[in-house]
A and B are shown apart, each in its own frame.
Chain A
Amino acid sequence: MAAEREPPPLGDGKPTDFEDLEDGEDLFTSTVSTLESSPSSPEPASLPAEDISANSNGPKPTEVGLDDDREDLFAEATEEVSLDSPEREPILSSEPSPAVTPVTPTTLIAPRIESKSMSAPVIFDRSREEIEEEANGDIFDIEIGVSDPEKVGDGMNAYMAYRVTTKTSLSMFSKSEFSVKRRFSDFLGLHSKLASKYLHVGYIVPPAPEKSIVGMTKVKVGKEDSSSTEFVEKRRAALERYLQRTVKHPTLLQDPDLRQFLESSELPRAVNTQALSGAGILRMVNKAADAVNKMTIKMNESDAWFEEKQQQFENLDQQLRKLHASVEALVCHRKELSANTAAFAKSAAMLGNSEDHTALSRALSQLAEVEEKIDQLHQEQAFADFYMFSELLSDYIRLIAAVKGVFDHRMKCWQKWEDAQITLLKKREAEAKMMVANKPDKIQQAKNEIREWEAKVQQGERDFEQISKTIRKEVGRFEKERVKDFKTVIIKYLESLVQTQQQLIKYWEAFLPEAKAIA
């Protein structure tokens, strides 16, 4: 439909045109035209995307019922969009223009953010992603299971191999069900690759489970006791949750490294993940350096949303940590209760043995049996306490650390842009000086440098916008996932508590007639 429209002459392509416009339609057209006439299009490949998003009637009309993500994005943006309601109308109205409306909100948002110029590639990248998402739909039909921990090798070189099974109907995979064997360092390697690719552009990459030198050493040394089996089970469950979270992420799911991890039978050994390797130490040093830098970056936050969210996540982090500590105490005490109940059961049995009144003796033995069963119950409940409640909390504490990391990357990005602007200023000053001193060759050099830094400034701004947009979207998705996750687990946990109580009822109901039978 936009094809029918005659883009108004845009002589200067100055971004400020946008600001003169008042109502939605014009805004829209000017946007399109700005894109078309954008002076610097470093990514010509994006133009075809422009056709799809701006011109085709393709899937758009049927998508007027926007998918959740987009609605969320729009919902969040409307708070800050100072433009009035007319821009909403394109979506709701049944005029021809709706053909392009799904793109409209996005393009409206982009200009609003601090930028003064619009960059075509940024917008089109967004649209492409959105299209991909739509194609995949909100239903992520992929299920990952981590199972069958197996010890491979002997002594200190031994390791645990886990079976990773994927069940999926997604077309990007060659089979619908397949499994591979992976070891812990493979998972760490996967995370490391994904993090290096996606973290710095604002994607919340789920963190991998933590290393544990003590735990692994026990397993390697061959201690076949309950603590090492518990450790292995804890790790297996954590790896499974890690993969589930990673594949749920629409962008990460597309990543070839992830696919290779899930599909290929042989995987190159990830050596840089060892705790005490050179790379490991370098990572630690970098992390420390980052921490120092973060403290010195004084960012001019012009977008209250980011400040708000950061504060929110900070609070959430604190509260989750508190809750986690209390739940850990609960697990510990429930285990103690279980042990004490077992001990009592034994002594009740002994007491029943020495009791010389027959009926009472029998009742005491029954009591001992009941208490033994209750001990089992407590143990199972302690597992539920831990695996459902406690691990959920510790997962989210680490996830929030990843979220904070992403916000930090945005700050660094801003810093880079700032620095570029400062350098540009310096270069301009230098040029001015050269002009005065009248040194023609130096002037040319200065002009070259200015051009170079102008490009860097533009890139810096684009990167900053991009990361900001990505983060908004990611945070929206993260929050949705978080709500779903917590609700599911809370319900499961409560159901486990109900189970325990029902069993208790069964046991005591069976015991009551025995007690009454004492004559």
Chain B
Amino acid sequence: METHAEAGKEGKPLCASVDLQGDSSLQVEISDAVSERDKVKFTVQTKSCLPYFARTEFSVVRQHEEFIWLHDAYVENEEYAGLIIPPAPPRPDFEASREKLQKLGEGDSSVTREEFAKMKQELEAEYLAIFKKTVAMHEVFLQRLAAHPTLRRDHNFFVFLEYGQDLSVRGKNRKELLGGFLRNIVKSADEALITGMSGLKEVDDFFEHERTFLLEYHTRIRDACLRADRVMRAHKCLADDYIPISAALSSLGTQEVNQLRTSFLKLAELFERLRKLEGRVASDEDLKLSDMLRYYMRDSQAAKDLLYRRLRALADYENANKALDKARTRNREVRPAESHQQLCCQRFERLSDSAKQELMDFKSRRVSSFRKNLIELAELELKHAKASTLILRNTLVALKGEP
């Protein structure tokens, strides 16, 4: 199935979880996207007056794997060890939606034509919403990179934005998969570091606090995100229930010959409109609450990763100190040990400084994003509740007015 999304043309990203101060020297957006059988093709458009690029306006077509390649390149780059790397966008997943559409197509004979049309419409809207979201996620990733003073100057980033050909990022081969596996083991060791089980002494109060905070925060926001998803899905389910109810009331109304005729028909209309409103409540909850929680779950993981890296640097520094002491006592190879220790110290301090800044940015980003989304959520909920009340009241007046 081919779906196009003019995401960029809509102006602002759908995922308003990140407040990006627009800097006109480098503007990136996803101006178009096409969904094919098993992949999505994003058209990344760049406008820039920076000297790194050959032209001021250009676009390329990228697929999800290429975004992941870019993300991994940043993560593996030592230069950015002291920065929070924007979380990679999740893989586009239309499986569930496709399955539902297929099941609907296989048909259920007890469903009337109108019901079928409505259900199809709902599923198509769902598919489109998922599509728009994945475009927004990919776009926000690029835009955060473009907004960051250090990250935006990365060579791989330029290549990603400008290189016309396919980046030939093939799927991981066995060696890389194994490498990934090993990396996970190292990660668990990092977990030990960060949870303080390895006995590493934290020297800075700020980081001590951040460590305990982030560990707990990440777990809880992940929980909240999962449960918010369930609420949203239950709400959607409820809205869909109104379809057969409205259809049945409609049939009842057309068959009646007495005063109930108008009552049933009005009720059928009411439920149809309520359905649309409930659907909107569900999708607003999705965008303003679930998506925001999900984004900050990923961002807090990226922050945790930063803390790992810093702690590893601290561990290296401590080891270098111990090695230096040993060298001094044995009075052998003191010079290399000294320079190594100095390097580790510098690296550690560099990381600590930039990490501190990054973590404070993370907090202010988080707070302002939550504020914006919670306000918008409350306003939308109010809007929908008021609209529901209005149509309910109108129907009541109409029903009571009849003889």
Interface residues of A (CB under 8 A from B): 312, 315-316, 319-320, 322-323, 325-327, 329-330, 333-334, 336-337, 340-341, 343-344, 346-348, 350-351, 353-357, 359-360, 363-364, 367, 479, 482-483, 486-487, 490-491, 494-495, 497-498, 501-502, 504-505, 508-509, 511-512, 515-516, 518
Select the stretch in B19-27, B256-264, B333-341 that faces chain A.
Answer: B256-264
B234 touches A498 (CB 8 A): no
Asked whether A479 lies within 8 Å of B396 as measured between CB atoms, the reply is no
B106 in the interface, Cβ–Cβ < 8 Å? no
User: With an 8 A cutoff between CB atoms, is B223 at the interface?
Assistant: yes
- With contacts A483-B260, A486-B260, A498-B392 taken as known, whether A326 is within 8 angstroms of B241 at the C-beta atoms is yes
Which residues of A lie under 8 Å from residue B389 when comparing CB positions? 498, 501-502, 505
CB-CB nearest in chain B for A348: B224
In the assembled complex, the Cα of A329 lies from the Cα of B374 at a distance in Å of: 31
Rounded to whole angstroms, the CA-CA distance of A282 and B230 in the bound complex is 50
Option from A367, A486, A497 in Cβ contact (under 8 Å) with B374: A367
B224 near A518 (CB under 8 angstroms)?
no
Do the beta carbons of A363 and B393 come within 8 Å of each other? Answer: no
Q: In the bound complex, do residue B223 and residue A504 qualify as a contact, i.e. CB atoms below 8 Å apart?
A: no
Measured between C-beta atoms, what is the minimum distance from B227 to chain A in Å?
Answer: 4
| 5 pairs of A and B residues whose beta carbons are closest in the complex | A323-B248, A337-B234, A515-B374, A518-B371, A326-B244
**B14 at the A/B interface (Cβ < 8 Å)?**
no
Interchain nearest-CB distance for A339 vs B (Å): 8
| CB contact under 8 A between A491 and B258, given known A336-B237, A518-B374 | no
Distance (Å) between the CB of B123 and the closest chain A CB? 17
Known interface pairs A323-B245, A326-B245, A498-B389. Does A350 touch B260 (Cβ–Cβ under 8 Å)?
no
Most chain B CB atoms below 10 A, which of A326, A353, A363: A326
User: For residue A505, which residues in chain B have a CB less than 8 angstroms away from its CB?
Assistant: 382, 385-386, 389
In the complex, the answer to whether B227 meets A515 with C-beta atoms within 8 Å is no
Q: Which B residues lie within 8 Å of A479 (CB)?
A: 258
Q: Does B60 contact A (CB under 8 A)?
A: no
A469 to B: closest C-beta gap in Å: 21
**A and B contact pairs by CB, cutoff 8 A, 22 listed:** A323-B245, A325-B244, A326-B245, A333-B234, A333-B237, A336-B234, A337-B235, A340-B227, A340-B231, A341-B231, A343-B230, A347-B223, A351-B220, A356-B363, A357-B366, A360-B370, A491-B399, A502-B385, A505-B386, A508-B385, A516-B375, A518-B370
Q: In the complex, which residues of chain A have a beta carbon less than 8 angstroms from the beta carbon of B213? A: 354, 356
- Nearest Cβ distance between residue A346 and chain B, in whole angstroms? 8
**In whole angstroms, what is the CA distance A343 to B221 when docked?**
13
Q: In the complex, how many residues of chain B place their beta carbon closer than 8 angstroms to a beta carbon of chain A?
A: 58
Q: Mark B107-136, 1 if CB is under 8 A from A, else 0.
A: 000100000000000000000000000000
- B contact residues around A348 at 8 Å (CB): 224
B396 touches A495 (CB 8 A): yes
- The answer on a CB contact under 8 Å between B395 and A494 is yes
- Which residues of A are found within 8 Å of B370, using beta-carbon distances? 360, 363-364, 518
- Indicate if B228 sits at the interface (CB-CB under 8 A): yes
Given contacts A333-B241, A509-B382, contact A343 B227 (CB under 8 A): yes
Chain B contacts for A347, CB-based, 8 A: 220, 223-224, 227
CB pair B381–A504 under 8 Å, yes or no, is yes
Asked, given contacts A319-B248, A515-B371, A518-B370, whether A344 binds B259 with beta carbons under 8 Å apart, the answer is: no
User: For window 356-403 of chain B, which residues contact chain A by CB distance below 8 Å?
Assistant: 363, 366-367, 370-371, 374-375, 377-379, 381-382, 385-386, 388-389, 392-393, 395-396, 399-400, 402
Smallest beta-carbon distance B388→chain A, Å: 5
Q: Knowing A351-B221, A360-B370, say if A322 contacts B392 (CB, 8 Å).
A: no
Instruction: Assess A494 versus B224: contact at CB under 8 Å? Given A360-B370, A360-B371, A483-B260.
Output: no
- Contact A501 B385, beta carbon cutoff 8 Å: yes
Chain B residues within 8 Å of A312, by CB: 255, 257
B69 interface residue per 8 A CB criterion: no
Chain A nearest CB, measured from B213 CB (Å): 5
When distances are taken between beta carbons in the complex, the residues of chain A under 8 Å from B244 are 322, 325-326, 329
Q: Smallest CB–CB gap between A355 and chain B, Å?
A: 7
| Residues B382 and A329 in contact, CB atoms below 8 Å apart | no
How distant is the Cα of A5 from the Cα of B387 in the complex, in angstroms?
70
Known A344-B224, A482-B260, A490-B267: A515·B378 in contact at CB below 8 Å? yes
In the complex, A497 Cα to B278 Cα: how many Å?
A: 13
Verify A498–B252 contact, CB threshold 8 A: no
> Once the chains bind, are A319 and B251 in contact (CB under 8 Å)?
yes
Cβ–Cβ contact A319 & B252, under 8 A: yes
Asked whether B80 is an interface residue with its Cβ less than 8 Å from the other chain, the reply is no
Q: Does B167 contact A (CB under 8 A)?
A: no
Q: How far in angstroms is the closest Cβ of chain B from A318?
A: 9
Chain A residues near B263 (CB-CB < 8 A): 486-487, 490
In the assembled complex, which residues on chain B have CB atoms less than 8 Å from the CB atom of A337? 231, 234-235, 237-238
User: Nearest chain-A residue to B381 (Cβ)?
Assistant: A508
Q: How far is the CA of A354 from the CA of B267 in the complex (A)?
A: 46
Q: How far is the CA of A359 from the CA of B213 in the complex (A)?
A: 16
- Given A355-B217, A483-B259, A518-B370, check contact A501 B388 (CB 8 Å): yes
Interface pair B220/A350, CB less than 8 Å apart? yes
Q: Is B249 in contact with chain A by the CB < 8 A criterion?
A: yes
Interface pair B230/A340, CB less than 8 Å apart:
yes
CA A82 – CA B183 in complex, angstroms? Answer: 95
| B267 to A, closest residue via Cβ | A490
Q: Which of A319, A334, A494, A518 meets B392, CB within 8 Å?
A: A494
B395 surroundings in chain A (CB, below 8 A):
494
Partner of A498, one of B221, B224, B396: B396
Any A CB within 8 A of the CB of B216: yes
Task: Collect the chain A residues with CB atoms within 8 Å of residue B270's CB.
Answer: 494
Cα-based distance from A501 to B387 in the complex (angstroms): 9
Query: Is B241 touching A491 in the complex (CB atoms < 8 A)?
Result: no
In-complex Cβ contact of A512 among B259, B260, B274, B382 (8 A): B382
**Is B238 touching A333 in the complex (CB atoms < 8 A)?**
yes
Q: Tell me the bound Cα distance from A348 to B290 in angstroms.
A: 12
Bound-complex Cα distance A329 to B237 (A): 10
Task: Quote the shortest CB–CB distance from A152 to chain B (angstroms).
Answer: 40
Cα A322 to Cα B231 with chains together (Å): 27
Known: A344-B231, A508-B385. 5 other contacts (CB 8 A): A340-B230, A360-B371, A491-B399, A501-B386, A502-B389
Distance in angstroms between the alpha carbons of A498 and B394 in the assembled complex:
11
Q: How distant is the Cα of A53 from the Cα of B258 in the complex, in angstroms? A: 32
Contact pick for B249, options A323, A495, A508, CB 8 Å: A323
CA distance A437 to B377 in the complex (A): 101
Q: How far is the CA of A341 from the CA of B392 in the complex (A)?
A: 24
List chain B residues, Cβ under 8 A from A363: 370-371, 374
Which residues from chain A contact B231 at a C-beta distance below 8 Å?
337, 340-341, 344
Are B396 and A515 interface neighbours, CB within 8 A? no
B272 to chain A, nearest CB (A): 13
Q: Which residue on chain B has the smallest CB distance to residue A353?
A: B220
- Of chain A, the residue at the smallest CB distance from B380 is A508
CB nearest neighbor in A for B266: A490
Residues of A within 8 A of B241 (CB): 326, 329-330, 333
Contact present for A344 and B227 (CB under 8 Å): yes
Asked whether, in the complex, the Cβ of A512 is within 8 Å of the Cβ of B367, the reply is no
Chain B residues lying within 8 Å of A340, measured Cβ to Cβ, are 227, 230-231, 233-234
Within the assembled complex, what's the spacing in Å between the Cα atoms of A346 and B231? 13
Report if A316-B255 is in contact (Cβ < 8 Å); known contacts: A333-B234, A357-B363, A508-B382: yes
Instruction: List the A side residues contacting B267 at CB < 8 Å.
Output: 490
**Interchain CA distance A321-B382 in the complex, whole Å:** 35
CB distance from A205 to the nearest CB of B (A): 22
Select from chain A the residue with minimum beta-carbon distance to B215. Answer: A354
Contacts of A518 in B (CB 8 A): 367, 370-371, 374
Q: How far is the CA of A334 from the CA of B239 in the complex (A)?
A: 10
